[in-house]
Structure 1
Amino acid sequence: MARLVIVSNRVPPPRARGAASAGGLAVALQSFVAPGTLWFGWSGRVHERTSEKPRLVEGHGVTYATIDLGAEDYDRFYVGFANSSLWPLLHFRLGLMRYRREDFEGYLAVNAAFADALVPMLRPDDVIWVHDYHLIPLAAALRARGFAGRIGFFLHIPFVPPSVLEALPPAREVLQALCAYDVVGFQTRTHLADFLDCAHRFSGFAVDGDEVVTDGRRVRAIADPIGIDAAGFARSAARSTGTAYIQRMKDSLAGRALAISAERLDYSKGLPNRFEGFARLLDRFPQQQRRVSLLQIAARSREDVEEYQTLRRELDRLAGDINGRFSQFDWVPLRYMTQTVERTKLAGLFRIARIGLVTPLRDGMNLVAKEFVAAQDPADPGVLILSRFAGAAEEFSEALMVNPYDPDQIAEAMNAALEMSLEERQARHAALRRAVFEVTAARYCNVFVDALAA
């Protein structure tokens, strides 16, 4: 049987599987990665030079292989092209995109270094699954070094139509690199269709159904929405409600409703818009004052990128302004924290929340929406308020859908959620719960690997 080789920008250490420090990818793959799997990528460490040979760690029968990045490679590959060019571009934020040729050259160089370190560990019949925008050129680099096996790529963030992609100077090179894979996966049919349009327009390749026909090769494109371990998360949420941590939260609420949001501190998540929407709720619907508190968890990330530093300062200012305007001596309307919260505790917080606010300006999928639904008590569920620009919106039509660019829509949805009858909340949640338990993490993995092995 062929060995599965997973390649991602960051590699979770064995102790982080399912822990608070594990990212969304690690959590999604944790029940799928079997003994014998090789997981390769960046260690997260920055040194003077990029390492040539990977460091190997064994855990749970899986081999974790990592390399360190040199400081200059980190600046050009990670801070530069990946997160200052591709990330804003693929989230439709052209005004935040910064492009420099030397960053793109560094991006290609680090992908070449990944290939150089990985090739000696490969077997001819390995099946390679590459993840996310950091590593688009990796298949071409592996092909150039003689690997002829199956290679698949999954993009966890959105893709864009040709009218947006053309703003990226090396758009043609990026599209051609994607077409070096055998299978390319996207979160939604919309992202898939945009990829096919771009492949034809920028590379001149023919499109046949959901396949791109290149010089002597066919690249299959699939829509494969990522899911969660819904049953496991639901059990964790139910258990957590009896902990001292959740009881402290209940006591602090003093009978008030809890609205909750949880994500990385990132400009794609629409945090300033959400804060303004909450302020509009308290201003336009004064009957909700003292009845609800918003808990915003926004774990710090990419703090060496200027746009993230600017965003944090803006959120600090908005939080202070909202609490200054509306707080009373026994009620703080907005609770804003930038620490990471363990998944088990987060599950319990979701369980007791009346509202889940998931309002990104653009998102590939958004697993927080699925976790919030899975965590709810079906007998007395909370209400999910969801951005129509999250990939999850294609599956979650029973959520209260909003345009996050309109703070008044967020305010109106929050008011509707607070006033919603138990019967309507139960009906909406039942439909959402069916979707979450059908499109699971295991299904996501099986669909992609089956397509790659076909």
Structure 2
Amino acid sequence: MSRLIVISNRVSAPTGSHSGAQGGLAVALQAALAEMGGIWFGWSGEQTDAFTGQVNLHRGDGYTTATVDLEEQDIEEYYNGYANRTLWPLFHYRIDLAEYERGFAGGYQRANERFAETVRPLVEEEDAVWIQDYHMIPLGQELRNRGCANRIGFFLHTPWPPRRLLGTLPEAAELVETMFAYDLIGFHTQEWLESFCDFAQRDMGAEIEDGDVIRYRGRSVRVIVCPIGIDAGEFRTLSDSETARDTFRQMKLSATGRSMIVGVDRLDYSKGLEERFLGYERFLREHPETRKEVFLLQIAPPSRAAVETYQRIRNVLETLSGRINGEHADLDWVPIRYVNQGYSRDVLAGVYRASKIGLVTPLRDGMNLVAKEYVAAQDPEDPGVLILSRFAGAAAQMEEAVLVNPYSAEEISDAILQALRMPRAERIRRWRAMMDGIEREDVLWWRKRFTDALLEVPLAGPKAGATTI
């Protein structure tokens, strides 16, 4: 059986921890690697004075992590620059926030060349290589340039923007051309896949064959829809852990009989937190008779603090939560509990189960695993209600959630009232339908669907035609 070589921007050490610093992708990849075996390679998160390509190895839990340090310039141009100030806002439809600078693009290319040079000696002949996300789009081409004839797949965890938006990127066609070095590309939803094909076909002249194969200048790549899931069984176990039960009791006690609405999001403008607060504020104003019966707990650990737009959203939310609390709070009630720190997944499982409503309202999201974890944590006999943005990838699989337009404060307000008044029988019916999907299409299903498709690719030697952005 082939080993799996996972390559991503950041790597989580195989410690068996349920650290709050671990995102949904990290947990999913750990589960995939533990089952299949192999190596997880990426940036260590550390800075070095001079790039040497020295690899730091750590073994455990059935796989090995391999990390490399980057220079300050690489971090600034590749990570803070092109990845998070150019591609991230663009891929989330925020071209007003995207910064297009040649230095960023050059640093992005250089860092991917360094990743390729460093990881290439670790890849054995039978290995399947699985590259993750927008940080490393050209990495497959760089591995091909170094003679890597292995099967190489790429998975995008963000949305793929419509062609008119992607066209604002100066080197868009060159970036997409590097993706034809892959054998397989996966997307969370049909919408993201169709947007990719639309650009390749209409702006680059690529041809679509057999519905899922794109050909361009003698190269071809298969594209599939493969929505990521969670380890549903593991999360149910977490929900029944002592820590989760203690947290559940603590939250119920602190609620003093009120219904809790919970939001858990990385502090990011794509998560719709400002719009969420405004929608909740509208609910407080429109329904004063019920407002003291609820409170919103928003957990938003900071991220990417070096990027100015993230500093700005934090300032906006602090101001907004302060204003809402100042206007609506009473001696025995505060409408918003706003917390800027992360919590372990077992603690979050207890928080989710104690809440009446899960409020997941990103403006645009590739998938959103918080929505699935919220559902998985619920008491089957008395589940809470998931309010979900229709612009999250998860909405395609979770149609029984209360779907909203996150830009509409009215819809958020109406959805909160609907969820609070929803009969238990309806809550159970909606929860059961969503839970069935979460259990059926879990993280192991995701891994198997992608890797099975990748391993079906015949080995035909490296793809020619190097391109740099």
State the TM-score, normalizing by the size of structure 1. Answer: 0.98
2:7 equivalent in structure 1: 7
Pick from 243, 250, 253 the counterpart of residue 251 of structure 1: 253
1:167 equivalent in structure 2: 168
Write out aligned runs for 1:10-409 (5 A): 10-15=10-15, 18-34=18-34, 36-208=37-209, 209-240=211-242, 243-409=245-411
Q: Measure how far apart 1:396 and its partner are.
A: 1.1
Q: Is the 8 A contact 2:214 2:222 kept in 1?
A: yes
Q: Is the 8 A contact 1:241 1:247 kept in 2?
A: no
CA distance in 1, matches of 2:202, 2:102: 22
Q: Measure how far apart 1:108 and its partner are.
A: 0.4
Instruction: Report the 3-state secondary structure (helix = DSSP H, G, I; strand = E; otherwise coil) of the residue aligned with 1:222.
Output: strand
Q: Is the 8 A contact 2:10 2:45 kept in 1?
A: yes
State the TM-score, normalizing by the size of structure 2. Answer: 0.94
Q: Measure how far apart 1:179 and its partner are.
A: 1.4
CA distance in 2, matches of 1:145, 1:49: 22
- Quickly say closer, same or farther: Cα 1:12–1:118, change in 2 above 3 A: same
CA distance in 2, matches of 1:36, 1:211: 29
Q: Is the 8 A contact 1:77 1:103 kept in 2?
A: yes
Q: Deviations over 1:109-130 (max 9, x none)?
A: 0000000101122212221000
Q: Measure how far apart 1:43 and its partner are.
A: 0.2
| % identical aligned pairs | 47
State the AA in 2 paired with 1:47: T
User: How many residues are paired up?
Assistant: 454
Q: Measure how far apart 1:393 and its partner are.
A: 0.7
* Further displaced range: 73-82 or 244-253: 244-253
Q: Is the 8 A contact 2:243 2:346 kept in 1?
A: no
1:427 equivalent in structure 2: 429
Q: Measure how far apart 1:240 and its partner are.
A: 4.9
Q: Measure how far apart 1:242 and its partner are.
A: 6.6
1:436 equivalent in structure 2: 438
Q: Is the 8 A contact 1:40 1:66 kept in 2?
A: yes
- Quickly say closer, same or farther: Cα 1:146–1:295, change in 2 above 3 A: same
Q: Cα RMSD between the aligned structures?
A: 1.3
Q: Deviations over 1:360-400 (max 9, x none)?
A: 00000000000111111111111110000000111111111
CA distance in 2, matches of 1:202, 1:111: 25
Q: Is the 8 A contact 2:248 2:353 kept in 1?
A: no
CA distance in 2, matches of 1:106, 1:53: 19
State the AA in 2 paired with 1:148: A
* Further displaced range: 212-221 or 114-123: 212-221
Give unpaired runs (5+ residues) of structure 2. Answer: 457-469
Q: Deviations over 1:73-96 (max 9, x none)?
A: 100000111100100000000100
Q: Tell me which of the two structures has the higher relative contact order, counting C-alpha pairs closer than 8 angstroms and 6 or more residues apart.
A: 2
